[in-house]
Amino acid sequence: MRTLTFQRVTFTMGLPLLKRAIQDQVEKTRNFVSRSLVIGEVLSTADMATGVKCGIIYWLFGGAVRNLGGPAHVTQWLQPLQEQKHTGMFAMTERGHGSNVRGIQTEATFDFSAQEFVINTPCKDAEKMYIGNAMYGNYAAVFAQLIIHGRSQGPHCFIVPVRDEHGRLHPGVTVVDMMHKEGLHGVDNGILRFDSVRIPRENLLDKFGSVAPDGQYHSPIKDKSARFNAMLAALTPSRLAVTFQAMGSMKLGLTIAIRYSHSRRQFGPKAREEVKIIEHQTQTLRLMPHLATALALTFASRYAGTLLDEDIFRGKELVSSRPLQALVAGLKAYSTWENVSCLQDCRECTGGMGYMMENQISGLKCDTDVFVTFEGDNVVMLQVVVRELLAQYTKQYEERPVSSLLRNWAESGSDRLRTSFLAFNMDTVSNLTFLLKAVHFRERILQRGLVARIYYKVMTKKEDFFRAWNSCLHHITCLSLAHIHRGFL
Amino acid sequence: MRTLTFQRVTFTMGLPLLKRAIQDQVEKTRNFVSRSLVIGEVLSTADMATGVKCGIIYWLFGGAVRNLGGPAHVTQWLQPLQEQKHTGMFAMTERGHGSNVRGIQTEATFDFSAQEFVINTPCKDAEKMYIGNAMYGNYAAVFAQLIIHGRSQGPHCFIVPVRDEHGRLHPGVTVVDMMHKEGLHGVDNGILRFDSVRIPRENLLDKFGSVAPDGQYHSPIKDKSARFNAMLAALTPSRLAVTFQAMGSMKLGLTIAIRYSHSRRQFGPKAREEVKIIEHQTQTLRLMPHLATALALTFASRYAGTLLDEDIFRGKELVSSRPLQALVAGLKAYSTWENVSCLQDCRECTGGMGYMMENQISGLKCDTDVFVTFEGDNVVMLQVVVRELLAQYTKQYEERPVSSLLRNWAESGSDRLRTSFLAFNMDTVSNLTFLLKAVHFRERILQRGLVARIYYKVMTKKEDFFRAWNSCLHHITCLSLAHIHRGFL
């Protein structure tokens, strides 16, 4: 299966369209993000494992080089992907730190005399885990704590050779095959360990932090935490790519299930031909909302792609587009959960046929199930959404403290009045304006309530912020979903 | 995988406990149903494919012989399962008829001169499909239209030899391997075709319909449809067995996910040790309701098992226990859907680890996903529940037309008053009595509404019953779930 996927990836990456997409990424051609996202969607519909492996090479490895590195890095590691001179992998997650990546333990110690970084895995928890393309790839974009003179500057990304073009492992690198997963059997995931692997100083992707030959560290962002946030933000396009892959999966599953429902007959009026199962009320009610969601997601995610393209084209750092961060994080969580729920209904609506591998739905289910936890666990994504929302709220509040508070309260009052008034009129429930008002109202109520709760806990009760946030997590996820739902209307 | 499962099944069926369970079924020992159900649950926790294959042999094949046949059949086909002289399969579903089994097309034509039945597959749609143990089993309990003198008496069950003890196929029988499924890779599912296979007259399981040597048909139930209902009702225990298997799966999944959540740490207060992920509010809120459901299901399904045992011990035909039919159909649908939802949360709550096969959760997901559509599709099960509820309602209404109508209305009025009154008092929301009243109220409102709608459509508007029922399907599934939820309180 892996060999087949490898062949498919080689074939696909050799297509003129894909080579062009890489060149576009190299040159930052206008709208290259949107175009690549759609290619990813189509590819995933053809074969999910191939789509995911190409995504690892193009978005994760290529994207890291593009967005965290400089021109020389692009020439050395991104450009050659076109001719398939090498492939890459993305090594961020560790055994001990998956969601909380800030806490990774892999070390990159600067050796002044040799002008090299020493990449090292100090303990079992620091092993890089679930790394896709680990059994085939040549280079890894490795996140590690940058240590200079014994002091960490926080996580940075380094290009580390894993194996040469003949497949021979680089000295000091150990790769362990992680073997069987629920799906994506064509994707090779592995564990990476580094035993003091030496790489040139130039292998640090230095857009957000560089080390001079004399060991001087320099970064445009002084705060360690803000710096890492900027790096993560730069990787936003690859997160959006998951949404496009999930959409591809939904569309394929729905095509199969809806077509089958139009041909399969079961039950019917006495002594008459059985009816098509799509005519069973429950069958329609189970499938059509998913179709509507797939369409809504298509518009919303293409819109997000356009925003990303504009920011990149204008040379704007993605970290400064907070609403866009929230949108992409929310889309990732919402689309991948909707995909799981959609495929489950497709599978159930096609009965025993849906359980057979030859009919694709169950394979799609297994392949895409991992989307809900990889590239940022969905529950963490929901928190990212709310963090961004609160940042906007706080900013607005700080800029115009009194007036904005009053305006908020005034809005709150009129919302409540209008909504409850409209609720008495049954006609308005199916009215789009009413629905829009309702979801706006829900989001605002949840947001104001959350701000008040956290403010009370942290400021009045002097609770630790983490504890306060954690005790509101359910509220946070509700607000997050409310925000995402509103975004679709 | 299949060979391994075959070995496991052979080993398991050879255990004294399992041999005893078969003997108990042969002798109808008091409470044998409850005991076998629990054995099935434990077995499924150890290995789902083994549990399902043993279930096919014990519940489906053995149960058909036990509940549809006479003492001679039990001696000939059930008793020898103890010594594993042969194994069996259950062949009801056809390509053309899965949910609407009444419409199966396999024919069993009585040949008076030879005193034999001729089992025949007249067309592709009549092929028996998804038949478990098809690649290993010796006998099949085959459902076919019983045809005497060119006239069908409706579906009956026949024991048809498939292969001898050396694995050689019986003449006229074709078996096609169905190969890959989402899960249960150890279970061999196949397609069966019969090309005028001759079996002795005695191979008809004749409890609900027998054919005398002179070709005279005799049945204790005159109506063809009622007769088939009685046969299906007799197979109720095997439906309950699915609920026990789903529970086993939930308990195993929850054990893994909850234990992991108590050992894995991620995020935490600044400069302090990260906290156990079970301490994240959302993690607890995602897992604990499933644990509560697993417990509630344990009590409810054991109770259903006890009722079945009592009926069987008292020699009562299961078809006459309508509330019990509704309970078992509802439990099957509810438990298998809850299992899917539970395992999905277990998988997500264990992150990437949950996606790895070695950690069992994803395997359990794939193995048990088929539960929602096999042994009666869940949406069909919900309709069975409501059909039984309405039968009870109609009966009550017919017996005391005026008084019961009045009583219903009176109850309805007081319910509404009490519920809306209680709703003003926040304290009562968490009160069990209030909750009980509320779910009772919801069920009654939905039931009365449904009766009124169907009555109006069929009696006033003269709509065809099938169309009327179909246009209320969403209402029906809501009522069904409301009934099931109430049953747990």
Answer whether A466 sits within 8 Å of B270, measured CB to CB: yes
Predicted pLDDT at B189: 98
Mean pLDDT check: name the lowest of A289-293, B247-251, B317-321, B428-432. Answer: B428-432
- What is the per-residue pLDDT across A274-284, written as a single tens digit (0 to 9) for each? 999 999 999 99
| pLDDT in the model for residue B403 | 47
Going by pLDDT thresholds of 50, 70 and 90, the confidence category of residue A423 is: low
Dump strand ranges (E) for B12-148. Answer: 88-91, 107-111, 116-120, 128-132, 139-148
* pLDDT level of residue A489 (50, 70, 90 thresholds): low
Q: Is B377 in Cβ contact with A280 (below 8 Å)?
A: no
Q: What is the pLDDT of residue A392?
A: 78
Q: Do B182 and A97 touch (CB under 8 A)?
A: no
Mean pLDDT in residue range A263-269: 95
Q: Answer yes or no: do A356 and B180 touch at CB < 8 A.
A: yes
Range with the largest mean pLDDT of A269-283, A429-443, B434-448: A269-283
Predicted local distance difference test score (pLDDT) of residue A406: 46
In chain B, which residue's Cα lies nearest the Cα of A465? B269
Contacts of A477 in chain B (CB under 8 A): 282
Query: Residues B132-143: what's their mean pLDDT?
Result: 98
> How far apart, in whole angstroms, are the C-alpha atoms of residue A49 and residue B67?
48
pTM: 0.94
**B434 pLDDT more than 70:** yes
Q: Is the CB of A352 less than 8 angstroms away from the CB of B285?
A: no
* Closest Cβ opposite residue B182 in set A100, A181, A355: A355
Average pLDDT over residues B155-169: 97
Least confident range from B172-181, B320-329, B378-387, B393-402: namely B393-402
In 3D, which of A395, A381, A419, A71 has the Cα closest to residue A242?
A381
Q: B449 and B474 in contact (C-beta within 8 Å)?
A: no
Output the pLDDT for position A478.
97
- The answer to whether the Cβ–Cβ distance between B466 and A352 falls below 8 Å is no
Segment A217-230 shows an average pLDDT of 93
pLDDT at A432: 82
Contacts of A472 in chain B (CB under 8 A): 281
Question: Mean of the pLDDT values across residues A135-152?
Answer: 97
With beta carbons less than 8 A apart as the criterion, state whether B94 and B192 touch: no
* pLDDT on residue B427: 61
Which residue in the set A178, A356, A470 is minimally distant from B281, CB to CB? A470
Q: List the structure tokens of B452.
A: 């009124």
Tokens for B428, please give them: 């009562």
**Min Cα–Cα distance to chain A from B55, Å:** 18
Residue A58 sits at the vertex; the CA angle it makes with A55 and A59, to the nearest 5 degrees, is 70
Rounded distance between C-alpha atoms, residue A276 and residue A279, angstroms: 6
- Identify the bridge partners of residue A89 per DSSP, sorted by sequence position: A140
**Token reading at A20:** 């062009």
Q: In chain B, what residues touch A93 (CB-CB under 8 Å)?
A: 352
CA pair distance B60, B51, nearest whole angstrom: 13
Confidence of residue A417 (pLDDT cuts 50, 70, 90): very low
The minimum CA-CA distance between A186 and chain B, rounded to whole Å, is 14
Q: What is the mean pLDDT of residues B468-474?
A: 97
Residue in B348, B356, B470 nearest the CB of A181? B356
| Whether A372 and B348 lie within 8 Å, measured CB to CB | yes
Give the gap in angstroms from C-alpha B256 to the nearest C-alpha of chain A.
16
What gap in Å lies between CA A72 and CA A204, rounded to an integer? 11
Q: What is the least distance, in Å, from the CA of A185 to any CA of chain B?
A: 11
Q: pLDDT tens digits, residue range B315-359?
A: 888 888 888 999 999 999 999 999 999 999 999 999 999 999 999
Q: How confident is the model at residue A426 (pLDDT cuts 50, 70, 90)?
A: low
Taking CB atoms and an 8 Å limit, are B279 and A470 in contact across chains? Answer: yes
**Average pLDDT for A111-129:** 97
Contact at 8 Å (CB) between A331 and A238? no
Q: Where does the pLDDT of residue A420 fall: very low under 50, low under 70, confident under 90, or very high at 90 and above?
A: low
Please give the residue that has the higher pLDDT: either A317 or A15.
A15
Compare all CA atoms of chain B with the CA of A351 and give the residue at the minimum distance.
B373
Q: Residue B420: which pLDDT band, with cuts at 50, 70 and 90?
A: low
Which residues of chain B does A129 touch, with a Cβ-Cβ cutoff of 8 Å? 352
Q: What is the predicted pLDDT for the residue at B294?
A: 97
- A276, A373, A387: best mutation site toward chain B, by most B Cβ within 10 Å? A373
- Averaged pLDDT score across all residues of chain A: 92
Chain A residues closer than 8 Å to B471 by CB:
281
For residue A39, what is the enclosing H or E element? Answer: helix A32-46
Read off the pLDDT band of B408 (50, 70, 90).
low
State the average pLDDT over residues A295-308.
96
Q: Nearest CB to B351: which of A344, A366, A377?
A: A377
Give the residue-averaged pLDDT of A425-431: 68
Residue B30 CA to residue B12 CA, distance in Å, equals 23
Mean pLDDT calculated for residue range B104-109:
98
CB count in 10 Å sphere of residue B29: 15
Tally helices (H) and strands (E) across chain B: 17, 11
A18-58 pLDDT per residue, tens: 999 999 999 999 999 999 999 999 999 999 999 999 999 99
Residue B379: closest CA among chain A residues belongs to which residue? A282
Q: Is the pLDDT of residue A398 over 90?
A: no
> Between helices B361-368 and B48-55, what is the axis angle to 10°?
20
Task: Give the pLDDT confidence of A348-393 residue by residue, as tens digits.
Answer: 999 999 999 999 999 999 999 999 999 999 999 999 999 988 887 7
Q: Which of A276, A348, A349, A450 would you mutate first to test chain B, the one with the most B CBs within 10 A? A: A348
User: What is the Cα gyration radius of chain A?
Assistant: 25
Shortest distance between the Cα of B95 and any Cα of chain A, in A, equals 10
pLDDT band at residue A299 using 50, 70 and 90 as cut-offs: very high
Task: For residue B250, count other CB atoms closer than 10 A to its CB.
Answer: 29
Residues 6+ apart with CB under 8 A from B386: B450, B476, B479, B480, B483
Mean local confidence (pLDDT), B89-111: 96
> Once rounded to an integer, what is the mean pLDDT over residues B119-135?
98
Contact B355 A370 (CB under 8 A): yes
Q: With CB atoms and an 8 Å threshold, state whether B274 touches A366.
A: no
Neighbour tally for A349: CB within 10 Å:
30
User: What pLDDT sits at residue B431?
Assistant: 81
Contacts of A454 in chain B (CB under 8 A): none
How large is the average pLDDT for residues A89-95? Answer: 97
Q: What average pLDDT does this structure show over A222-241?
A: 92
In this complex, the residue of B285, B372, B477 whose CB is nearest that of residue A282 is B477
* Whole-angstrom distance, CA of residue B253 vs CA of residue B258: 9
Confidence category of residue B411, pLDDT binned at 50, 70, 90: low
Q: How far is A99 from chain B (nearest CA, A)?
A: 7
User: CA A153 to CA A158: how far, in whole Å?
Assistant: 14
Q: Are B373 and A467 within 8 A, CB to CB?
A: no
Mean pLDDT (chain B, rounded): 92
Residue B285 has pLDDT above 60, yes or no: yes
Encode pLDDT of B12-52 as tens digits. 999 999 999 999 999 999 999 999 999 999 999 999 999 99
Does B351 contact A98 at a Cβ distance shorter than 8 Å?
yes
- Min Cα distance A359 → chain B (Å) is 9
Using a pLDDT cut of 90, give the percent of chain B over it: 83
Which residue in A has a C-alpha nearest to residue B468's C-alpha?
Answer: A269
**Within a 10 A sphere around the Cβ of A135, how many other Cβ atoms?**
20
- Answer yes or no: is pLDDT of A335 > 90: yes
Amino acid at the residue A13: M
Shortest CA gap B113–chain A (Å) = 33
Of B356, B373, B473, the CB nearest to A178: B356
Nearest CA of chain B to the CA of A432: how many Å?
Answer: 24
